[in-house]
Amino acid sequence: MISKVHDRFIRYAKIDTQSDPNSETCPSSKKQLHLAKELVKELNGFGLKDISLDKNGYVMATLPSNIDGEVPVIGFISHMDTAPDASGKGVEPQLRENYDGKDIILNKEKNIILSPNDFPELLNYVGQDLLTTDGTTLLGADDKAGIAEIMCAIEYLVENPELPHGIIKIGFTPDEEIGRGADHFDVEKFGANFAYTMDGGEIGELEYENFNASMATIKIHGRNVHPGTAKNQMINSLMIGMELNALLPVNQRPEHTEKYEGFFMLMSFNGSVEETSMMYIIRDHDMNKFKKKNELMLKAVEYMNTKYGENTIEMELKDQYYNMKEKIEPVKHIVDRVERAMIEVGVEPKIKAIRGGTDGSRLSYMGLPTPNIFTGGHNFHGKYEYIPIQSMEKAVTVILKLIEIYAKG
């Protein structure tokens, strides 16, 4: 099991599954199906039941119960896509055995260095074995580590049929990184009472709170004339965009916030004098504060349209997902059981709020309470991403212990 999680992750990481936010299809990129088909093949090899890959790229399977009596049906879910903001093509994970606490040269030619001076948490893993990037792509631990951990745990149960377990459901989703991972997830077909996403960060993370989230898509219409005769004639959409951004609080940007502090994040800003497009994401754990942030964005656009003319700025403000805490707290025992499982296998639980979202947040509102468990990775979505192999191994043991706890009732 231990060597398999390492090998399995590397194999999955090398498959390009980058999602595409500009695509209207599901999955947003056909290449995600390459991994989906590989997973179906492996699940068939395990001898699981009800294995399916639907037209939207969702993989589901069932490990039947081997015990008498009824216990809750639990599921484990991870997403197959990698983030669109960093290359997922040509991923070549690098094994760094027995890490010595010093700088790691990821790419000598490009002078890309993973250093504890920049990422001090590296020092927590001295003596352990790390998987890093080669400095040219992301690693893909978000969330192929989660997939590898689930697959290794299920294979271990299949190979050791004397280990008691209830019905276990497996789900792998596309397009989580672009906020669409639960769009076509069939909760009724999945058939679990509760589920867990293996999609967290460092070892010990256990999360059942996440951001409330919205996205603002903005178009600004300007008027371009020759700059020599521009006075009282030109309307520079780029400058209007800058002015709009200046209306939002500087101290509520991601680089100035932490823990339960929400933010406005300018994700893109592209255009010309004639027309500019902008995109923001808006986040807050507290629903009232979240609503006020959305109201502030609406008022800022209204003010700019009053100043520069009606419909100078067009904005679509759309909610994306909500804080799962409201849906998890009534069944808090599903979190308590994970905490117990961690303690029993020697992992210190770190219960915290996600400064982001997972498939679990939307699934919880779709009737499937789904908290989030660590995978072990760090610095997701970029060339400084890494994951300790020992953390992945512990994630597998947590899954197995959790299944055991449910089987015992």
- Rg of the chain on CA atoms, in Å: 23
Q: Please work out, in degrees rounded to the nearest 5, the angle formed at the alpha carbon of residue 262 by the alpha carbons of 256 and 265.
A: 70
Q: Can you say whether residue 255 is alpha, beta or left, with left for phi > 0 and alpha for psi between -120 and 50 degrees?
A: alpha
Spatial contact of 19 and 178, defined as CB atoms under 8 Å apart: yes
User: Which stretches of 67-174 are assigned E, i.e. beta strand?
Assistant: 74-79, 94-96, 104-107, 112-114, 130-132, 168-173
**Could you list the active site residues?**
81, 176
Give me the DSSP letters along 322-371. --THHHHGGGTHHHHHHHHHHHHTT---EEEE-SS--HHHHHHHTT----
Q: Which two tokens stand for residue 257?
A: 């916030």
User: Which stretches of 21-64 are assigned E, i.e. beta strand?
Assistant: 49-53, 59-63
Q: For 192-272, where are the alpha helices, taking DSSP H only?
A: 237-246
